[in-house]
A and B are shown apart, each in its own frame.
Chain A
Amino acid sequence: MKPVVLALLAALAFSQPLHAYLHFTGLRAGKPVAITWERAPVRWFATDRGVPGVSPSDFQAAMARAFSVWEAVPTASIAFQFAGFSGAEPFEDDGVSVVGFQDEPDLDRVLGATGFLIDTVTGEIVEADIFFNSTFPWSTAAGGDPDRFDLESVAVHEAWHFLGLGHSALGETEPRPDGGRRVLASGAVMFPISFGRGVTHDRELQPDDVAGVSALYPDGGFRAETGVARGRVTRNGAGVRGAHVVAYSQQTGRLVGGFTLNDGGEFEIAGLSPGAHVIRVEPLDDADVDSFFSARSPIDLDFQVTFHPRLFAAPRGGTGEPFTVAVRPK
């Protein structure tokens, strides 16, 4: 089986991280702002073309379920609307959001991808398109098909990008003999490398996913009921850029991650359940760096996995005491 990456194509060309969860940014009046949909419901069209094992109606139903997964997050405010089948193709930059299959045999490590059209004055998303690579075998079987990739799982992932969000690094991988990496496990639907064929776990969101989408589209008391961790990661006193910081609540079992996003090594993780958290910092070495950061933003991978020696108490509805995690070179 080939290693498969869930990629963003157009998005990475202009993205830069603003906060944790890698919200994509555009420029408004010269300043970076998180790109979002400003009007709801977000209307989407499906191409009227299926692939072996997935009819157009199967495809539309799987996409609708994937979007509804995000709509069901109680602490986020998002709504989608299926606008009909269309003969249009994804990535036509026509102001119409289209999702559908396309045959891209050259993208032999890409299951699917999402691209945007942005209003560069307002930061508003004008159009988002998703394509699924019909080079791969797909399934919408309720229990999954061991020989095919689960369309709904990948659709949930791409629907997140459709909302303007980037990847999570909450996962563990191992090198593959033929190059690339194989996922051992992940703590987010938004991990950039897909589970294997027949695995349907990513039809359900994980806490990291919920925290990320709620931070961008907050609703339902999200900010009042959850806490924020803020701090720095340093090595020899200097900030570490691109470190992956994870907060774990033993009380709830929730794992929520974020990144250090500047040369000062500063990070911020929103959406933490109130109470004590273990803080773990690791280098971003479980997926291609360009799944998270553009090549213009070199990051530091030369440090050991480190736990912060103090528990972090996330407040309810606020930001906890900032702290610094000192890491050591490998």
Chain B
Amino acid sequence: MKRAAAACCLLAASVLPAAAQSGAGRVEVSVGGGLLGGAGVGSASADLRTNEPGRKPFPLFSAASRIARGRALHARALVPLSARVAVEGGLTVSHPDLVTSVSLDAEGAPPLTVTERIDQYVIDAGVRVMLDGLRLGASLTPFVAAGAGYLRQLHEGQTVIEHGQAYYAGGGLTYPLLGRDRGFVRAAGLRADARVYLMRGGVAFGDRPRPHAAVSGGAFIGF
């Protein structure tokens, strides 16, 4: 299921129209939306102590949880360091479901999926490198990007905040619609990203990083 989602993301990124490189500019901001893939956050059993001298647990029931795939909105700001290298920071907002599958109840309760909606925010910063040498056609320019950030998740009702870290790596394409050397707006275009986030902490039931595939598209303006 996860592999299928990742494949769709890459496909979506690759079907954008061909064009040339991103327009020149000092500061670039972009907004857009996409899909943030789901990932397992851990499984465990609700254990009781057995009536035996050893420490073998007695599972009352089992629970396996994942964060479901969901739509995400993002906003990013980018500052060029050179013609090809830039630093960028962004905010990604999503509202995925935390889904827990309950099974193997000791008293035979039927398996059930229970859910909770969470608010998820990723604030990240990283580096983007334009791959001008791999330009596709006249305007479509690929790039790679990587960075790290802060993961903030709020449980339903926004009464509990979970903190974590997010690391990402990926790439994408830019397609300029406007590029000029003067004026308040010096560049504008479209941008598509495909990323893999490694998220650690938050609502996870363990310390192991979990991969989330993500695909997004949006528009940028350079000033």
In chain B between 22 and 58, which residues have their CB closer than 8 angstroms to a CB of chain A?
A: 42, 44, 46-53, 55, 57-58
Name the segment of A20-28, A34-42, A180-188 touching the other chain. Answer: A180-188
A278-B48 CB under 8 A given contacts A305-B109, A306-B109, A313-B157: no
Verify B107–A305 contact, CB threshold 8 A.
Answer: yes
In chain B between 154 and 185, which residues have their CB closer than 8 angstroms to a CB of chain A?
A: 155-157, 159-160, 162
Tell me, yes or no, whether B151 is within 8 Å of chain A by CB. Answer: no
Contacting residue for A280 out of B49, B58, B61, B159, CB 8 A: B61
Q: How far is the CA of A313 from the CA of B118 in the complex (A)?
A: 10
Verify A313–B58 contact, CB threshold 8 A.
Answer: no
Verify B44–A320 contact, CB threshold 8 A.
Answer: no
Contacting residue for B53 out of A146, A282, A315, CB 8 A: A146
Tell me, yes or no, whether A310 is within 8 Å of chain B by CB. Answer: yes
Tell me, yes or no, whether A201 is within 8 Å of chain B by CB. Answer: yes
Q: How far is the CA of A196 from the CA of B51 in the complex (A)?
A: 6
Verify B156–A278 contact, CB threshold 8 A.
Answer: no
Smallest CB gap from A201: residue in B: B49
A308-B51 CB under 8 A given contacts A278-B46, A318-B159: no
Verify B155–A185 contact, CB threshold 8 A.
Answer: no
Tell me, yes or no, whether A231 is within 8 Å of chain B by CB. Answer: no
Tell me, yes or no, whether A163 is within 8 Å of chain B by CB. Answer: no
Verify A187–B160 contact, CB threshold 8 A.
Answer: no
Contacting residue for A182 out of B49, B51, B105, CB 8 A: B51
Contacting residue for A170 out of B42, B48, B57, B63, CB 8 A: B48
Q: How large is the interface on A (under 10, 10 to 19, 20 to 34, 35 or more residues)?
A: 35 or more
Q: How far is the CA of A315 from the CA of B155 in the complex (A)?
A: 9
**Distance (whole angstroms) from the CB of A309 to the closest CB of chain B:** 5
**Distance (whole angstroms) from the CB of B136 to the closest CB of chain A:** 45
A276-B116 CB under 8 A given contacts A316-B160, A321-B157: yes
Verify B102–A307 contact, CB threshold 8 A.
Answer: yes
**Residue total for B at the interface (Cβ-Cβ under 8 A):** 37
Tell me, yes or no, whether A137 is within 8 Å of chain B by CB. Answer: no
Main secondary structure of the interface of B (DSSP, over half): strand
Verify A144–B160 contact, CB threshold 8 A.
Answer: no
Q: How far is the CA of A228 from the CA of B48 in the complex (A)?
A: 22
User: Which residues does chain B contribute within 8 Å of A201, judged by CB atoms?
Assistant: 49, 55
Verify A199–B52 contact, CB threshold 8 A.
Answer: yes
In chain A between 99 and 146, which residues have their CB closer than 8 angstroms to a CB of chain B?
A: 144, 146
**Distance (whole angstroms) from the CB of B134 to the closest CB of chain A:** 44
Verify A199–B100 contact, CB threshold 8 A.
Answer: no
Q: How far is the CA of A246 from the CA of B60 in the complex (A)?
A: 11
Verify B156–A311 contact, CB threshold 8 A.
Answer: yes
Verify A172–B63 contact, CB threshold 8 A.
Answer: no
Contacting residue for A185 out of B49, B65, B108, B159, CB 8 A: B49
Q: How far is the CA of A134 from the CA of B21 in the complex (A)?
A: 88
Q: How far is the CA of A103 from the CA of B19 in the complex (A)?
A: 93
Verify B115–A311 contact, CB threshold 8 A.
Answer: yes
Q: How far is the CA of A290 from the CA of B49 in the complex (A)?
A: 23
Verify A311–B157 contact, CB threshold 8 A.
Answer: no
**Distance (whole angstroms) from the CB of A46 to the closest CB of chain B:** 27
Contacting residue for B51 out of A185, A275, A306, A315, CB 8 A: A185
Verify A199–B53 contact, CB threshold 8 A.
Answer: yes
Contacting residue for A310 out of B42, B115, B162, CB 8 A: B115
A313-B102 CB under 8 A given contacts A172-B58, A206-B49: no
Verify A250–B205 contact, CB threshold 8 A.
Answer: yes
For the A-B complex with A206-B49, A278-B61, A311-B115 known, give 9 more contacts whose Cβ atoms are closer than 8 Å: A186-B49, A195-B51, A196-B51, A248-B63, A307-B114, A311-B116, A313-B116, A313-B155, A315-B160
A to B CB contacts below 8 Å, 14 in the list: A172-B58, A184-B58, A185-B50, A185-B57, A206-B49, A246-B60, A255-B46, A275-B155, A278-B114, A280-B105, A309-B115, A310-B115, A313-B156, A320-B159
